[in-house]
Amino acid sequence: MKALFTLAWKSLLNRRASFLLTLFAVALSVALFLGVDKARTGAREGFGHTISGTDLIIGAPTGSVNLLLYSVFRMGNATAEVSWPTYQKLSARDDIAWTVPISLGDSHRGFRVMGTDHAYFEHYQYGRGESLRFAKGREMDDLFDAVVGADVARELGYEIGSPLVLSHGLGKADFGSGHENRPFRVVGILAPTGTPVDRTVIVSLEAITAIHVGWESGAKNPLSDSITEDMIRSFNLTPKTVTAIYAGLKRKGTILRTRREINTNKGEPLMAIIPGEALAELWSVTAMAERALLAVSIFVIAVGVVSILTSILTSLNERRREMSILRAVGARPGHIFGLLTLEAGLIGFGGAALGIVIVHVLVLIAGPIVMQRYGISLGGTGPGMTDLITLLAVTGASLLAGAIPAWAAFRRSLADGLSVKL
């Protein structure tokens, strides 16, 4: 066996160019597969880590995935809102320990604007129970104070004291449709979290009301430009609605009952979701796409393995002589079979191992960038079980694929005998 192994290895080195090309083909296919898998698990973990410590998310009735998407991931829009009195009633419930009201619907140069209050900084947690931290500055205090996420500050070059103009709706601001006369000022910049918070501009709930003064009809009131900042400050800016509410319970055990009670609320219709449950539902939606992506990358691996088969099969003719020499010095047909299978297995093993190395080097290099840009942790925890299983599976598949040329050589070596007609 050791002798065959040595023979197989030396034979591969002898055909270095085709050996290395095939090895690379396998390595790249394995790297693609593992890369897709790491991005997938990374995205899941990233999404799963976007919100923690929040027991319920409450909003107007909609799909639970939809509520989760717009309230936590800033994706899509709320179709209806929750009235302020209802919010107050919810906050006052005995079983609810804390609530965070959030109000969405505006944007600032492509970044979502979220109105909330001090409770957000106190209770919102991400990852494994981490709270928001300020890289610079502090929370909002004045009506026109704004706190920006790390990406917002980086991409727009904001510093403490930078002015910013919020636009109504979600597009990039164009002149005339914005709230130009409502100038905000950056008072705080949050440390990166790897969550959508990084791409959010946070203002007070009152500020959201303020920027809509004169917009009550849904379009800009021609007179609104004449409203001055001081006039706005004198208005009653108590919000009329909020978009969604994060809630923490006093006792986790009551969560199902609390949810049921909120869902069957007598007055205004409401919907409460458990974030983890809604996430699971989201995964069941994305699972199809993930599976398709994984299937594609598995097919790419199959192509890699087939290229092993091809490279060995095409070498067989020129190696016919070699096989009859081996037979002449006493090799049994089984040795010939073993030699070729082993060569395929060596390429598969080497290729898969190289692919694993490539992926981990890439994760090491690109991981921090991906984390910062997309909030996806590529799970750079070194080689894991998936890598090992992939290594074994690719090696196994290569051995199987190698059996095809090995069988051809085996049959031929029986027929050729000692003499090969060249």
Is residue 319 a contact partner of residue 14, using CB atoms and an 8 Å limit?
Answer: no
Q: Taking CB under 8 A as the rule, does residue 411 contact another protein?
A: no
**Residue list 314-343, contact with another protein (CB under 8 A):** 321-322, 325-333, 335
CB of 346 to another protein, least distance (A): 14
Compute how many other C-beta atoms are within 10 angstroms of the C-beta atom of residue 288: 9
With contacts defined by CB under 8 A, name the span among 156-164, 282-290, 369-377, 414-422 that binds another protein: 414-422
Based on CB atoms, which residue is closest to another protein, 100 or 346? 346
Q: Are 73 and 196 in contact (CB under 8 A)?
A: yes
Q: Residue 236, interface with another protein (CB under 8 A)? A: no
Nearest approach in angstroms of CB 329 to another protein is: 4
Question: Which residues face 106 on adjacent strands?
Answer: 113
* Cβ 319 to another protein shortest distance, Å: 9
Distance CA 261, CA 272 (A): 9
| Lookup: tokens for 96 | 């609810």
Give the nearest distance from C-beta 331 to another protein in angstroms.
Answer: 5
Residues 4-33 that bind another protein (CB under 8 A): 4, 7, 10-11, 13-14
Say which residues have a Cβ less than 8 Å from residue 44's Cβ, sequence separation at least 6: 283
Size of the site for another protein (CB under 8 A): 23
Cβ proximity to another protein, 285 vs 415, nearer residue: 415
> 245 has which bridge partners?
58, 101
- Residue closest to 206 by CA, chosen among 173, 180, 240: 240
List of residues 6+ apart from 261 with CB closer than 8 A: none
The CB-of-347 to another protein minimum distance in angstroms stands at 15
The C-alpha angle 316, 321, 325, rounded to 5 degrees, equals 120
Q: Is residue 295 part of the contact set for another protein (CB under 8 A)? A: no
Verify binding: residue 419, another protein, rule CB under 8 A: yes
- Give the footprint of another protein on this chain (CB under 8 A): 3-4, 7, 10-11, 13-14, 321-322, 325-333, 335, 417-419, 422
